[in-house]
A and B are shown apart, each in its own frame.
Chain A
Amino acid sequence: MVRNQAQSELSTWAIACQNLSATYPGGGGISDVNINFGPGVTAIVGNNGAGKTTLLETIAGLRTPNSGHVWLFGRSPSQWRSEGVNQIGVALQDGRPYPSAKPVALLNYLNDLYSDTNSSAGRPTVGFLTEAFALTTKTLIKNLSGGELQRLKCAAALIAGTPILILDEPTAGLDPQGRRDLYNLLAQVVPQQSTLLVSTHILEDLETMNGRVIALKAGQVGFDSHASTTTSAYSMTFSSRANIELTGLRNALAEDVVISEKMNGSYSITSNAPIDAAFITSVMNFCAQIGAEVTQVNVRERGGVLAEIEDLLLEKGTQ
């Protein structure tokens, strides 16, 4: 009875990971991950080797976990697979599928493959996707540029018309403009009710994406914006000399700020109230009084989450 209850609760999530571990003999992978995903966008960030790809591929059923479970709407990926039901559209980070085919031919073939009566409702058409993702090129897949290949992989994931979408580093190798364009495109094309997981190692990408943020660190969930108590909406970062006495600075500012020295001489202040010119002046004056020069001042909105993630991801480098 207890198990049944747990099972029915799991089935309310699009994706439920239960004590999920998938490790490698040489290290890396994920260990004991417990996390659930529902409709909407979730960004998964983390340094290289943090376990992003392993987590996503295990959810997609491409890797067998060492222990623990993945449930997609309450059933395992292999259960769905054995019934020939596709719940997840995936764009993998590596690989160049069917290099000797043309992009449109690949999409047409996939369209045929998915055109059974179950899933055809609400599936984007080949015409729509080739238009939206600019894939009408006659170039063979083996000769596509990095950006074209990423767009093709995203289109190939979308054409499955699945309720879950997983895009592993879709912006890898793109310039900042290309990354923004791709995210804007996805925001237009991906249905609202889809559960979309997007991984990236580029933190600026989070500013373009609106949604939940998960940070992986050494194979574990180090930060989850759904579980986080961080409410600070504004942040200020600056550089100065190392070991400034932070209590004094805090006293000089409003009470509800959090101040930390992320690295030697690199400081972060988060606040619930907007950081205005008067606030910045207070910081500058305090530093001037103690004879510390201030450089690289940066003020951001939504900085609380970003700053927390940045702290988390940079920690390893400073130790």
Chain B
Amino acid sequence: MISSRRLIIQTKWEFLLNSRNSEQILLLVLIPIVILVVLTKTTIIGGETTELPSALATVLTISTFAAGLTSLAIATAFERRSETLVFLGTTSLTRVEVVLAKSLGSLLLAIFAGLFTFTAAIILGWTPTPFTILIPLWMVLGVFSVSGFAYLLAGTLRAEAVLAIANGIFVLVLMFGGVIFTFGTSITNVLEFFPPLALKNLIQFSVTDGNEVTGVHVIKAMSILMVWGVIGHMLASRFFKWR
């Protein structure tokens, strides 16, 4: 049984605790905006300036992974070490509520960061499209696709190891996920089957005005995120240790 009342209280508490953390603000607000400006106004990356919709998709994808993978894994790992997770086991929260509240909390962080990014993009000259409204849904799928792996890391390794590995994966996603740098067709075809590019494509479909996107593209990308999410959460529920 899931109590929506308890879930809301827990999510709000976790969101407030996380959002007060200055590292989180840096990771979730400042870095995305810096990347947005660098991509659209300079030629540092890829030798030419990036179109705003593509840059926006890049930045929102980064925010989603920063929240749903890196910061979720690190926060959960340290809560496991401080036995906060065991403490939660002594409250009236069910395990499902504890996990769901964590995922929802990191989703809220990603959306919160997204609002800053949208504001920055509009200032830079981007016009919202009708499909922009779908972005929260893509972010839900994006967080789901990796949060299971965040729990897998946090629930099996020592907190310091999680800190290093989660940050390492984040850098790998940035560098080689097809999110910032683009690769040739054959590599891109492979990368599309991984969450970073699948999510970036979904977001880019929604923020680009008048592009030719078929339902098949969307369903393919959504399915990829779902499958990764199911695998990650199955592994996490099998191997996660509460202390």
Please list the residues of chain A having a beta carbon within 8 angstroms of any beta carbon in chain B: 60-62, 81-86, 88-90, 92, 94-101, 109-110, 112-114, 116, 156-157, 160
In the docked arrangement, what's the CA distance between A112 and B17, Å?
16
Can you name the residue of chain B whose Cβ is closest to the Cβ of A88? Answer: B90
Chain B 84-143 interface residues, beta-carbon cutoff 8 Å to A: 84, 86-94
* B183 to A: closest C-beta gap in Å: 40
In the docked arrangement, what's the CA distance between A112 and B10, Å?
9
In the docked arrangement, what's the CA distance between A116 and B3, Å?
11
Instruction: Please judge, given known A-B contacts A83-B1, A84-B1, whether A96 and B83 are in contact too, CB under 8 Å.
Output: yes
Can you name the residue of chain A whose Cβ is closest to the Cβ of B10? Answer: A113
12 A–B contact pairs at CB < 8 A? A61-B89, A82-B94, A89-B90, A92-B83, A94-B83, A96-B82, A98-B17, A109-B9, A113-B91, A113-B92, A113-B93, A116-B3
B211 adjacent to chain A (CB < 8 Å):
no
For B10, what are the chain A residues with a Cβ–Cβ distance below 8 Å? 113
Please list the residues of chain B having a beta carbon within 8 angstroms of any beta carbon in chain A: 1, 3, 5-6, 9-10, 13, 17, 20-21, 79, 82-84, 86-94
Name the residue among B79, B82, B90, B93 with the largest chain A CB count within 10 angstroms: B90
Other than A84-B1, A100-B20, A113-B91, give 20 A-B pairs with Cβ distance below 8 A.
Answer: A60-B90, A81-B94, A84-B94, A89-B90, A92-B83, A92-B90, A95-B83, A95-B84, A95-B86, A96-B84, A98-B79, A98-B84, A99-B84, A100-B17, A101-B17, A109-B9, A109-B13, A114-B92, A160-B91, A160-B92
* Interface pair A62/B83, CB less than 8 Å apart: no
* Interface pair B13/A62, CB less than 8 Å apart: no
Can you name the residue of chain A whose Cβ is closest to the Cβ of B21? Answer: A100
* Interface pair B86/A92, CB less than 8 Å apart: yes
Contact residue among A84, A94, A95, A157 (Cβ-Cβ distance under 8 Å from B92): A84
For B6, what are the chain A residues with a Cβ–Cβ distance below 8 Å? 84, 113
In the docked arrangement, what's the CA distance between A101 and B18, Å?
10
Can you name the residue of chain B whose Cβ is closest to the Cβ of A166? Answer: B90
Instruction: Please judge, given known A-B contacts A84-B1, A84-B92, whether A62 and B86 are in contact too, CB under 8 Å.
Output: yes
* Interface pair A97/B5, CB less than 8 Å apart: no
For A95, what are the chain B residues with a Cβ–Cβ distance below 8 Å? 82-84, 86-87
In the docked arrangement, what's the CA distance between A113 and B11, Å?
11
Instruction: Please judge, given known A-B contacts A94-B83, A97-B82, A113-B91, whether A82 and B1 are in contact too, CB under 8 Å.
Output: yes
Instruction: Please judge, given known A-B contacts A83-B1, A112-B9, A113-B10, whether A97 and B84 are in contact too, CB under 8 Å.
Output: yes
* B19 to A: closest C-beta gap in Å: 12
Can you name the residue of chain A whose Cβ is closest to the Cβ of B89? Answer: A62
For B87, what are the chain A residues with a Cβ–Cβ distance below 8 Å? 92, 95, 97-98, 156
In the docked arrangement, what's the CA distance between A248 and B1, Å?
69
In the docked arrangement, what's the CA distance between A99 and B80, Å?
12
* B227 to A: closest C-beta gap in Å: 29
* A140 to B: closest C-beta gap in Å: 11
* B93 to A: closest C-beta gap in Å: 7
Contact residue among B9, B21, B83 (Cβ-Cβ distance under 8 Å from A97): B83
For A61, what are the chain B residues with a Cβ–Cβ distance below 8 Å? 89
* Interface pair A110/B91, CB less than 8 Å apart: yes
Contact residue among A84, A97, A98, A109 (Cβ-Cβ distance under 8 Å from B3): A84
In the docked arrangement, what's the CA distance between A116 and B4, Å?
12
Name the residue among B1, B20, B21, B91 with the largest chain A CB count within 10 angstroms: B91
For B20, what are the chain A residues with a Cβ–Cβ distance below 8 Å? 100
In the docked arrangement, what's the CA distance between A92 and B91, Å?
12
For A100, what are the chain B residues with a Cβ–Cβ distance below 8 Å? 17, 20-21
Name the residue among A86, A101, A113 with the largest chain B CB count within 10 angstroms: A113
Instruction: Please judge, given known A-B contacts A96-B82, A97-B82, whether A62 and B9 are in contact too, CB under 8 Å.
Output: no
For B17, what are the chain A residues with a Cβ–Cβ distance below 8 Å? 98, 100-101
* A162 to B: closest C-beta gap in Å: 9
* Interface pair A116/B86, CB less than 8 Å apart: no
In the docked arrangement, what's the CA distance between A263 and B9, Å?
57
In the docked arrangement, what's the CA distance between A161 and B99, Å?
24
For B79, what are the chain A residues with a Cβ–Cβ distance below 8 Å? 98
For B21, what are the chain A residues with a Cβ–Cβ distance below 8 Å? 100
For B92, what are the chain A residues with a Cβ–Cβ distance below 8 Å? 84-86, 113-114, 160
In the docked arrangement, what's the CA distance between A60 and B89, Å?
9
Question: Which 8 pairs of residues, A with B, have the shortest CB-CB distance?
Answer: A95-B83, A97-B87, A86-B92, A90-B90, A97-B84, A109-B13, A112-B9, A96-B82
In the docked arrangement, what's the CA distance between A100 and B130, Å?
41
In the docked arrangement, what's the CA distance between A86 and B89, Å?
11
